[in-house]
Structure 1
Amino acid sequence: MSALIYLCAAVAEIAGCFAFWAWLRLDRSALWLVPGIASLCLFAWLLTLVEAEHAGRAFAAYGGIYILSALLWMALVEGVRPDRWDVLGGAVCLAGAAIILWGPRAA
């Protein structure tokens, strides 16, 4: 369930940040900020649903999911195909996120 929550949180964060990008960098209307802010609020709420004992660990693990999701956003929304270094970096980050989230912990 955590993986699904992280994926939804990543989409919400990237969409919210993209709304600001569109407003400031692509000369879109300031009305883009309304769904952007709502999306960023959704992102923050979703992270609170992750089953983790400590917020810092949940946030650190999320970082890997975010990076992979950002590369997917680049490919699907912006139409830019990730190169081999993007893919390798995303895989390393995803592995790191898995270690942080599911690594064995001392009691």
Structure 2
Amino acid sequence: MVAIKSLLVFILAGLCEIGGGYLVWLWLKEDKPVWYGIVGGIILALYGVVVTLQPAGFGRVYATYGGIFIVMALIWAWQVDGFKPDKYDLIGAAIALVGVCIIYYAPRQ
């Protein structure tokens, strides 16, 4: 149950970071109204709070989140931007995800 809770926190953090960053991107790169950037900045700040809900230390949490972010960014690009990941994107994401699961969820003494 602890692993499921931590995965949900990582996913929520990813949605905040990617969603907030995407709104800032749209504001600056796609000429959307300034409120996109403001809302994006607020959501990005919320990401900084959400990620602290993890029980592990800063380094391990951020290392693990990096791999989860890779997978979520590819999913976001595929679903929102119409980017189609190729086999190398998928292989790289799978390797990153396996690595971070070892880092975060491996039993320790």
Q: TM-score, normalised by structure 2?
A: 0.91
Q: Which runs of 5+ in 2 are unaligned?
A: none
Q: CA deviation at 1:73?
A: 0.2
Where 1:48 maps in the other structure, the secondary structure is helix
Q: Which runs of 5+ in 1 are unaligned?
A: none
Q: Quick check: which one's helix share is greater?
A: 2
Instruction: Give the distance between the partners of 2:71 and 2:22, measured in 1 at CA.
Output: 16
Which residue pairs with 2:41 in the alignment? 37
Q: CA deviation at 1:81?
A: 1.3
RMSD in angstroms over aligned alpha carbons?
1.0
Instruction: Give the distance between the partners of 2:79 and 2:102, measured in 1 at CA.
Output: 27
The size of the alignment, in residue pairs, is 105
Q: CA deviation at 1:5?
A: 0.3
Which residue pairs with 1:62 in the alignment? 65
Instruction: Give the distance between the partners of 1:42 and 1:97, measured in 2 at CA.
Output: 23
Aligned amino acid, residue 98 of structure 1 = C
Q: TM-score, normalised by structure 1?
A: 0.92
97-106 or 37-46, larger mean C-alpha shift = 97-106
